[in-house]
Amino acid sequence: MVKVHYTAQVHPRARLHRDVEVGPYSIVEEGVEIGEGTVIKAHSIVEKGTTVGGGCLIGPHAVLGGAPQDVGYKGQPSFLKIGDRNIIREYVSIHRSSKEGESTVLGDDNYVMAYSHVGHDCLIGNGVVITSYVGISGHVVIEDLAVIGGQVGFHQFVRVGTLAMVGGNSAFNKDIPPYTMASGRPGRVYGLNVVGLRRRGMPPEVRKALSRAFRLFYRSGLNVSQALERILEEVEPYREVVHFVEFIKASQRGVCGWSMREKSENE
């Protein structure tokens, strides 16, 4: 049974599935779809063009599907698609796409903490943790299982790779390769996310291969193309190693450089 507080405003053409709850003074606009069991707390706004999956928690004063902060946006219809089991805390804002008919996307099982912002046309994967006060500019891609520390800023079009660990109070204008740790202003990579790899059950042989690939790319003195060629020639082609290489190959902005902070654990 849907539960809508008497002070909330839900448009008659919004679609609320079973067991959805809408808290006091919240607004759900026309055409919005809310999945089964999702709870929307007080004073939140879910704007037109937004789809929210099942089992989500939307904290107080969140704004989902707001118009993109793009001077070229002229009101063309666009979308925000949010998957299942996401926790989106208080005062979070996530904007819909700036392009007609396209979507900003937040996958499944993500945790977006208070006061964070996800800009237009971003693609956020699954199992991502975005800590408080993170600012994610438009067109940013964050792959699965990345962890973003508090007060981090991302330039437009930056990509963050799978299982990357990003330190707080950092700023990034280049891509962060998968399975690495990065921080600083400007952001730099300082090692493999060894703890994250272990916690995710990555086999020792895969961790060893990633460590070898990391050293060849960041510590060999080779240029990018030479280092990637050496990795493909010398390192066992586990799926994670191939992803590391392909991510770097696909970079348009370039990847973060290496920092001397790298720990001996990753040597």
**Residue 91 lies inside a defined structural domain of this protein:** yes
Same domain? 119 vs 211: no
**Residue 32 lies inside a defined structural domain of this protein:** yes
**Residue 166 lies inside a defined structural domain of this protein:** no
Which helix (DSSP H) or strand (DSSP E) does residue 81 occupy?
strand 79-82
Q: Is the pLDDT of residue 107 over 50?
A: yes
Q: What is the pLDDT of residue 259?
A: 85
Q: Is the pLDDT of residue 266 over 80?
A: no
Q: Is the pLDDT of residue 265 over 50?
A: no
Which residue is associated with the tokens 């963050």? Answer: 160
User: Which residue of the set 117, 120, 139, 243 is catalytic?
Assistant: 120
Q: Are 238 and 206 in contact (CB under 8 A)?
A: yes
What's the pLDDT tens digit per position in 70-104?
999 999 999 999 999 999 999 999 999 999 999 99
Q: What is the pLDDT of residue 163?
A: 98
Is 150 catalytic? The answer is no
Last residue of a domain, one of 139, 162, 180: 139
Same domain? 12 vs 124: yes
Residue 54 domain boundaries: 3-139
User: Which residue of the set 84, 121, 149, 243 is catalytic?
Assistant: 121
Is 17 catalytic? The answer is no
Averaged pLDDT for residues 118-137: 98
* Cβ partners under 8 Å of residue 6, min gap 6: none
CATH code of the domain covering residue 68: 2.160.10.10
User: Which residue of the set 49, 54, 138, 153 is catalytic?
Assistant: 138
- Reported residue count of the chain is 267
Is 108 catalytic? The answer is no
**Tokens matching residue 166:** 């990003």
User: pLDDT category, 260, cuts 50, 70, 90?
Assistant: low
Same domain? 129 vs 10: yes
Same domain? 92 vs 213: no
The Cα–Cα gap between 20 and 39 comes to 6
What's the pLDDT tens digit per position in 128-161?
999 999 999 999 999 999 999 999 999 999 999 9
Last residue of a domain, one of 139, 156, 177: 139
User: pLDDT category, 261, cuts 50, 70, 90?
Assistant: low
Same domain? 111 vs 16: yes
Q: Is the pLDDT of residue 25 over 70?
A: yes
Domain count, the chain: 2
* Cβ partners under 8 Å of residue 203, min gap 6: none
pTM confidence score: 0.95
Q: What is the pLDDT of residue 203?
A: 97
**Residue 180 lies inside a defined structural domain of this protein:** no
What's the pLDDT tens digit per position in 45-69?
999 999 999 999 999 999 999 999 9
Last residue of a domain, one of 139, 154, 174: 139
**Residue 119 lies inside a defined structural domain of this protein:** yes
**Residue 190 lies inside a defined structural domain of this protein:** no
CATH code of the domain covering residue 225: 1.20.1180.10
Same domain? 203 vs 108: no
What's the pLDDT tens digit per position in 178-218?
999 999 999 999 999 999 999 999 999 999 999 999 999 99
What's the pLDDT tens digit per position in 223-256?
999 999 999 999 999 999 999 999 999 999 999 9
Residue 206 φ/ψ, nearest 5 degrees: -75, -40
Q: What is the pLDDT of residue 264?
A: 45
Same domain? 8 vs 115: yes
